[in-house]
Amino acid sequence: MAAAKDGYLPLFETKEAKGQVAYRLFAFSMLVSIFLVVVYRVRHVPAVGEGAQGRWVWIGLFVAEFWLSLSWLLRQALRWNLIYRYTFKDRLSQRYEKELPGVEIFVCTMDPSMEPPIMVINTVLSVMAYDYPPEKLSVYLCDDGESELTFYAMIKASRFSKHWLLFCKKFKGEPPSP
């Protein structure tokens, strides 16, 4: 990959989707089918003498088919030349590390029976293992229910985090949840 003008590698890559010819043939066949349904509806309008109920059913079907056809047609603008962008997250922190803002994350919990402490602690440890400068990341656990179980789990997790966070940073584990 070539370096960008400012000496850095690009932050994302753009690739065209495969199978575009098959999709375009499918879309064209759908367009022809929609056109044929609309032509059929227009050619088979119920006569005035056939009753009001048949006329209202026809109007309802025509409006529904026309609306769905129009929405399908408008969505094709996004799908006709389908592309995918792949981001390189590791390059973002290398490129803008000095400009990254400080982030404070609050993890709130209340009832250990509704929010098991293991899930709360996994959330806290996962956030602490983010690939973000540690001096700019603050994580707070707020336990509104004053649960001794959550407090005890947090004490155990603080001891475990000394090893776990070093492991995640060294081996770049994804997802960083123990």
- Residue-range definition of the domain harbouring residue 73: 12-85
User: pLDDT tens across 70-91, in order?
Assistant: 999 998 888 888 888 888 777 7
pTM of this structure: 0.48
Comparing 63-72, 127-136, 147-156, the range with the smallest average pLDDT is: 127-136
Whether residue 111 lies inside any domain: the answer is yes
What pLDDT, on a 0 to 100 scale, did the predictor assign at position 93? 65
User: pLDDT tens across 81-128, in order?
Assistant: 888 888 877 776 666 667 778 889 998 888 888 888 888 888 888 888
User: What residue has token string 């098991």?
Assistant: 116
* Angle of CA points 72, 79, 13, to nearest 5°: 155
From 58, 85, 112, the end of a domain falls on 85
Q: What are phi and psi of 128, to 5 degrees?
A: -65, -25
Query: Do 62 and 114 belong together in one domain?
Result: no
**Which are the contacts of 106, defined by CB distance < 8 A and separation ≥ 6?**
140, 142
Q: How many domains does the chain divide into?
A: 2
| In contact, 136 and 154? CB cutoff 8 Å | no
Q: Which residues of 146-169 are buried (b: 16+ CB within 10 A; e: fewer)?
A: ebeebeebbeebeeebeebeeebe
From 36, 61, 85, the end of a domain falls on 85
**Which are the contacts of 126, defined by CB distance < 8 A and separation ≥ 6?**
175, 176, 177
